[in-house]
Each structure stands twice: as structure tokens, then as C-alpha cells.
Structure 1
């Protein structure tokens, strides 16, 4: 790896670097967001050198992330001309070495769009791109609304509900929606839920697998790999079933995808799609829902405003996405020398794109640390930007809109009733616990 240092303060203070890079630095929101603020104001493109990790540039500003994301030929996700040579999900060195040991030297642990670059990325994304377009999703709106109503009736009741909004409600509805549209039987949803928590909770003591030694430096990679293998074992049956007996669901589209030569894509590409849908397809939505409801609990005047003006629900969702930003980071690698924000970047340098920080950038957002339902325009990039922008963004917004349209008119009051807790992860996560007193009509 070649880091070409420019004049000025390049290296970041150890405290800031560790807070942002290490999973345990994300166990509390306030110190983390203070670190993001320090970066934006003092060293928006600084070099983090944390023991056990490769050096990585921390990209904290909205404009810089957009500049990187719109140029996948320069800032590769999966390795560019050497596929599998770069890990787009930040791991420590021990974890990367463990992964390479499993794959024969590659860091491409999944054949999914996250690990791919154009033109392969374009082709694989295209397998299901049409299904996720807004025009196609309209046909599922009534089905999703039925699921939203069922979720409210099943998990909430009239009067005061004392509940952990995350564990008792927010996690279940998006999972049930995506699994229903996907084609996974309802009785298998608890298995998908458990695997998702393990998949995104590799560094969280509350989500550790019993078969992984938690103290080893490669523990996160071990849990990641073991969970992926469990997903593969489940989805292999689903691929075979859909290829033999196609149905009107998303699983059939993915399992039946063929290359230009007419042959099926290798099963690993179907697995990659299925894992992405079964994890990011619901976990990020539940995190956004919980973060949004927490803000309505903290600011009753906002709840009253949205109840009075339901047309504000889409704006509420956009602000909830900006505020929560459940995807904290992806990494990219430079394929050539480049100049970014006055820094001379070397070929092979790595970048950690800090979406949470970018969504609090005062150059883009007025009063960035205030939750505002009247924020227009709202240039949040919680779904990323460029070719890697989340393919499921329209479905996520549809799920959130329908749930809020069903739930908010019935809410009389929301109060925080205990200590919140966030998932300890530097990748994808949000609230793990949110005790509420939620009163419904």
C-alpha cells in the first residue's frame, strides 16, 4: 500500500482514529458524532493508523464521498482489475488474513454487488434491478399495507404499551415484508432474524455466536464466515426449489438468472443476492424506523405536526434516514494516483466513507444536529451514491411510509421509558434497545 503524504496534518490523533475505526468506538452515539464533527472541522480527509488495521483515509465530508462514489473506475469496491484484492467492508488485518485463508487468497467472501466493480457489478445488479423499480413495487403496496396493519394489531394494543420498540416491534415488520415478497416461508423468519443479527453483530457482545471464540483478533471474520455458510445452507435448498418450480416471487427471478450464454449464474451469485436481501433488506429499515420513532418521542411537537399534516411523512422518512444512517461505512481503494481535497492520494490507498458524518455536514444541511421534518431539500446519502447506491432504497421508503401512515394516526403519545442501547458495530447498525411507553387509540 502506498500512502503519498501531503504537507499539513495528515495523520489523525489516535483517539479520533480509534473512535471511528474500531467497532467499540461505535457503542455510544455522542462520542462518535463528536469525533465525526472534529474530523469535518479539523481534518476532513485524514489518515487513520490504528494498530491491527491497514492505514485508511477517513472521508467525513458529503462532497468528498460523492466525488469518490461517482468514480468506481478510480475508487474500486472489489479490487478493480484484481477482483477480490480489496475488502469493501472494513476488517482488521487478522480478519482479512482469515478470509483469504478460506478463499484461497481472495477477500471476496460473497458474490454480491458490494464486492463487485463494473462491468460485472452492472450485470449482477441488473438481475433484479427491474423488480426494485418504483413502477414494479406499486403492485405490492396493498400487500405491504396489509402486513403493516397486521404488525400493529399483533404486536401493539390499544392503551399504553410498555415495550422495547426495537426488539418487540421494529425488527419484525421489515423482515416479514421482505421475506413475504422474497418467498421465504413465515415459519423460517426467526432463523433469518437470528442470522441477520449475527451477520451485522460480529463485533457486538450481544450478538456473538456460541461457536466463535470472542477474544481472538479474527473473531469477527470467523463469525461472518460461519454465518454466511449457514445462509448458504438454507438458500441452496431455495435455489434448487425455484429452478425446478418457478413462482411469482423475487427468489425465482434471482435463482433463475442466466448469463449471456444462456447458462445459469453459479449458485454463489444467487446466494449473494439472497444474503443481501435477507440482511440489509430489513435491518437498515428497522434501524431507521426505530431512530425516527425515538425522535418523535423526544420531540412531541414533531409528532403532533406530522399527525396533523400526513403529507409530511415522506419528509419525515428522509430525515429519519439522514439522522439514523444505519450503513455507517464502506471502503474503497484507489486504482491510480489522485488528488482529493488537496491531498495527494497514492494508488492502493484505502478510504473509509463515513456516511453518518456526511449526513451531518453543515455545508450541506442547515442545523445538521437538529431533527427537522421540514428539511427541504434533504440531500441525505444514507443509501450511498453512484453505481453502488442501494438497490432497495425505494422498497425501504415504501415500507416506512406505509407503516407510518398506519401507525401515526393511532398514536396518542410516545415517551422514552428507559436507557437506549446501540449495536456495537462500525458497519451496519442502529438502536438495539429503545424502551418506550407508547399509547395508542
Structure 2
């Protein structure tokens, strides 16, 4: 079998706009059937292997010693951007968080907050999260029967939950929203226009802007850390700020990275799944009636909404040694793209994968990843979604689209970008 992916398919994989329509799934369907582990060679990018089958994604995710997160960029980047980030930070990474770590560092840093995100600890947060969900539904009910759900609801509710857990004051919400959106919105076409496409800026100006952004991020979170070191509280910010690794206090850079991954991974991904689920309900009134008639189906609805949306589209891994995998010879240093959105539509795992179904038992979705790097906040995300829909659906009489639903242009994190709704609610 020829290992190189056809040029048209490879270019689709690196086109952010393809992730906002069906073109990416057309590409994935072809790849799963014809070249499930192929090599993409696209001008402007280092070559990379494209992993599209559910089973292969799981197996690579299991082999953490052979396939590293931190050796190269963990998200797909253009060669010019990779070089610029390395020049600015001295590493392939914009920030250093759990996502960019491998053993022995990764398990040490993950252990710092693991108990905060364990099923038992998350369950203890349910009353507070449900109160926030009820407050959000009351706010929706006070609207005039229309809203842009992504901006009016989906972005704010999960951020509110995360800020509560971190112990960040609500006065910081606009700042936190901007910081999280700036990180994940860089490929969105509207933001590229607004930002003037940073990759085309002169190198010195690019470095200035990126350093300014990093400094802003660090200032914001280090202010919180300084306060928690002086006045520790029973919150996640205090755990991070006062962490000790190998007998030494956590560095400012790694504390910033930790705050960043909690704030962003716990926000944008949950927002996308929330809006993705609402988008399905808006187009399927029978599904809404089913859920209203049998609220016990809401947990299955949440799991399917996560699979359906798959907010994290791709992650990159780097081979640490020469190996043979799925019939391909992978060389040490090779880059691999794990295509979660493809794995979650794999016909070998999911019957009728392009249908939204509540009867997937078990639902083997891999939107949270797998193995040592499985999303530490997965139980919190499920609970947030479950609480919001359990509070909303009994009061929701009807919901429909009130305009065109559009999606984020991004090969990394994405979902609905705009979701205009018309609704009736008690």
C-alpha cells in the first residue's frame, strides 16, 4: 500500500476551514478505507503520519514511552510558527502544561490535582454545579425567546464552573474568557481577520506580540498564585500555587501552564459539546420530546453529544524510537496526528456513525483521549453538561434554529461558533 496520502486529502487535513464542514469527514472516510495510517506531505509543514482508525489511536495512546507528547509540538503547527515559538520560548511549546509533559514529569504534575477531578470529588461538587446550571436556565428564561447560544450561554456557563473550582473571582470572568479564547481561536477565520494573520507579520513584531501575550497570561495567573501562597484556601488555585515537585516549589512557567490547561481545557471543550448537543436538539424536535419524556436518557445524550462534537479534533505525538506500527515503518522523531474526530466516526466501532443515537452502549467515544494523557477533567465535563441539560430540558417547550449554525475553523479545538436559537421555555 502506498504510504503517501493524496495531495488533495493532505491539504484538507491542514485547512482549518475544512473542520467547519463535511470536507474533513469526507477525507477521514477515504483515509479509514484506503490509507488509515498514511503520510501527509504538505508544503509549509513538517511531514506527519495521519492516524484515523479508532483502534490505532487507542494503541498509540497506550504506548506513552514510544509516542511522546513533549518532544515536538503537541498540536499541528506550520514550520514558520514552530520556528518562531522555539525562538521565543526555547522549546516547541507556547506554554508547558500537562499536555506537553511526558514521564517522569507528567505523572508527578498530574498527581497534584488528580483527586480534585476524581469521580468522588467531582460528585461532591454536584450541588454547586447544579445551582449554577439552574441560575443559567433562569437567565435563559429571562431572554426574549431568542439567543445566540454559543456566545450567550455555552461560553459562559463552563467558565463559571471552572472559575468557582479555581477560586477565581467572578470579576475576572471577562479577562479569563478573553485569555481562553485567544489560545484556542487563533485559526478561526474571523479572528484571523481581526488579528491580521499573525503568521504574516514580520518576525520581530510577531515575537513582540507573542511575548506580550505570554507576559499578560503569566501576570494574570501569577497574581492569583501570589495571593494563594500568602492566603491558601480550599480551592484548586491554592493547590497549584503551593505545589512542590521533587522538593522544589513549582516554577512560575509551569504554574502558569497548569492554570492555563485547567482554564482552557475545562472551558472551550465543554462549551463546544454543550453547543453541539443543543444544535442537535434544535434540528430534531422528536429527540427533545424523547428526553423530556424520559430524563434518564440525558446521560446517554451527553455522551453522544461529546462523541458527535469531538471538541479536540487532533493531537500530535512523536515517536521516540524506530518502530513498526500498523504495517508502517515509523522512524524515531516522526510526527503523528491522532485524528479523534475520525476515530469517533469509525465504522468498525460505531454502527451508523453519522447518526446521533442514544442507544450506543457502551459508547466508546474517545473525545477525552486515552491512556496516561486521558483528560483529567472528563468527569467534571460530563457532570456540567448533565446538570445543565437536566435543569433546562424539563422547562424547554421547543427549540429551533433561528439562522445559520456555523462552526469553528480549527484543526485543534473546535465546535459550533455561532448557534442562533428560537425557543419557548417555562
TM surpasses 0.5: yes
In 2, the alpha carbon distance for the partners of 1:356 and 1:315 equals 19
Partner of 2:10: 17
Partner of 2:77: 91
Deviation at 1:109, TM superposition (A): 2.9
TM score, norm. by length of structure 2: 0.95
Instruction: Decide whether the 8 Å contact of 2:80 with 2:199 is kept in 1.
Output: no
Instruction: Decide whether the 8 Å contact of 2:88 with 2:207 is kept in 1.
Output: no
Q: Does 1:76 align with 2:68?
A: yes
Cα gap change, 1:163 to 1:210, in 2 (>3 Å): closer
Secondary structure in structure 1 of the residue aligned to 2:147: strand
Deviation at 1:108, TM superposition (A): 3.1
Instruction: Decide whether the 8 Å contact of 1:313 with 1:401 is kept in 2.
Output: yes
Deviation at 1:309, TM superposition (A): 1.1
Instruction: Decide whether the 8 Å contact of 1:95 with 1:222 is kept in 2.
Output: no
Greater Cα offset, 146-155 or 88-97: 146-155
Paired positions, count: 424
In 1, the alpha carbon distance for the partners of 2:136 and 2:209 equals 31
Root-mean-square deviation (CA, aligned residues, Å) is 1.9
In 1, the alpha carbon distance for the partners of 2:194 and 2:114 equals 37
Return the match for 2:58 from 62, 66, 69. Answer: 66
Deviation at 1:209, TM superposition (A): 8.9
In 2, the alpha carbon distance for the partners of 1:144 and 1:363 equals 37
Secondary structure in structure 1 of the residue aligned to 2:243: coil
Partner of 2:30: 38
Q: Does 1:202 align with 2:195?
A: no
| 1:221-232 equivalent positions in 2, closer than 5 A | 226-232=212-218
Instruction: Decide whether the 8 Å contact of 1:355 with 1:382 is kept in 2.
Output: yes
Q: Does 1:306 align with 2:299?
A: no
Partner of 1:286: 271
Instruction: Decide whether the 8 Å contact of 1:94 with 1:217 is kept in 2.
Output: no
| 1:42-53 equivalent positions in 2, closer than 5 A | 42-53=34-45
Cα gap change, 1:334 to 1:178, in 2 (>3 Å): same
In 1, the alpha carbon distance for the partners of 2:194 and 2:301 equals 39
Partner of 1:83: none
Q: Does 1:171 align with 2:171?
A: no
In 2, the alpha carbon distance for the partners of 1:17 and 1:221 equals 29
Instruction: Decide whether the 8 Å contact of 2:109 with 2:245 is kept in 1.
Output: no
CA offsets 1:134-158 (integer angstroms, 9 cap, x no match): 1112221111111111111123337
In 1, the alpha carbon distance for the partners of 2:111 and 2:199 equals 40
Cα gap change, 1:235 to 1:351, in 2 (>3 Å): same
Deviation at 1:21, TM superposition (A): 2.0
Deviation at 1:90, TM superposition (A): 1.1
Partner of 2:129: 144
Partner of 1:252: 238
Cα gap change, 1:439 to 1:23, in 2 (>3 Å): same
Q: Does 1:366 align with 2:351?
A: yes
In 1, the alpha carbon distance for the partners of 2:24 and 2:208 equals 26
Deviation at 1:208, TM superposition (A): 4.4
Instruction: Decide whether the 8 Å contact of 1:198 with 1:223 is kept in 2.
Output: no
In 2, the alpha carbon distance for the partners of 1:218 and 1:419 equals 37
Secondary structure in structure 2 of the residue aligned to 1:127: helix
Instruction: Decide whether the 8 Å contact of 2:298 with 2:386 is kept in 1.
Output: yes
Instruction: Decide whether the 8 Å contact of 1:199 with 1:223 is kept in 2.
Output: no
Greater Cα offset, 212-221 or 342-351: 212-221
Cα gap change, 1:308 to 1:218, in 2 (>3 Å): farther
Which one has a larger percent helix, Structure 1 or Structure 2? 2
Deviation at 1:15, TM superposition (A): 1.4
Partner of 2:301: 316
Deviation at 1:226, TM superposition (A): 4.7
CA offsets 1:82-105 (integer angstroms, 9 cap, x no match): xxxx1111111001100111123x
CA offsets 1:146-197 (integer angstroms, 9 cap, x no match): 1111111123337x61111111111110011111111111011011111211
In 2, the alpha carbon distance for the partners of 1:223 and 1:408 equals 44
Partner of 2:170: 186
Partner of 1:130: 115
Secondary structure in structure 2 of the residue aligned to 1:315: helix
Return the match for 1:395 from 372, 377, 380. Answer: 380
In the alignment, structure 1 segments of 5+ residues that lack a partner are 1-7, 80-85
Return the match for 1:162 from 143, 146, 158. Answer: 146
In the alignment, structure 2 segments of 5+ residues that lack a partner are none
Deviation at 1:259, TM superposition (A): 2.1
Cα gap change, 1:301 to 1:402, in 2 (>3 Å): same
